[in-house]
Amino acid sequence: MLTTELKVEAATPENIAPFGELVGGAGTPAIPPSAFYSQVQSYRPQFVSDEETEMALCTVQRRPLEVRYMERHFKHTQVFLPLGGRPFVAVLAPPTDTDLPDIDQARAFLFDGKAGLSMHIGTWHEFPFALFDDTQIVVLLRREATRGLQKENIVNGEGVSGDLDKKDITRRLGVVLQPRL
């Protein structure tokens, strides 16, 4: 089995652009204030979902920085928003036209806890890695994707639904991706 180390990069708008959009933090563009609330600046990050969108609050514990699975979504832009200023690491690979990620294009990013991520549709990813136990992350996604992760939808160890394609990259490609801080 091949282990590929990924240097963890800072999650900046420029670095994240091939995979999605930074949500919050410095440099977040604002739209004009409303006529009623001049003290409120708004920003509408990308979010696309055709139906049954849900918001999940996930409490994440530290786990080994090893990526053995990557997934993508076909019908929505998934969003990860940290709470409480807790940092996390996300491993991302750009969308592909094939049924597997291009692991040579995979990158690891450190989100400092001040901003989250809205991924492009089709971006390959693993669920974020907490750097501290009890890290809370708000996740916006389609309910169909959540259902694809339930036991009854796991086929040969991989998650399947109309909006979820979760692949075992270790079994299929013989590789483990290891983000290195």
Helix, strand and coil in the chain, % to nearest 5:
10, 45, 45
Dist. CA 166–CA 72, nearest whole Å: 7
Taking only the tens place, the pLDDT of each residue in 33-64 is 655 656 556 666 777 777 788 888 899 999 99
Give me the helices (H) in the chain, please: 13-16, 143-148, 169-173
Write down the pTM of the prediction. Answer: 0.85
pLDDT at 175: 97
> pLDDT of 71-100, one tens digit each?
999 999 999 999 999 999 999 999 999 999
Domain map of the chain by residue range? 2-180
Please, what CATH class does the domain formed by 2-180 belong to? mainly beta
pLDDT over threshold 90, residue 67: yes
In contact, 8 and 89? CB cutoff 8 Å:
yes
Q: Are 111 and 20 in contact (CB under 8 A)?
A: no
From residue 134, alpha-carbon distances to 54, 63, 129, 175 in Å are 21, 12, 11, 29
**Residue holding tokens 């009854």?**
152
Tell me the C-alpha distance between 145 and 76, whole Å. Answer: 9
Name the band, by pLDDT with cuts 50, 70 and 90, for residue 143.
confident
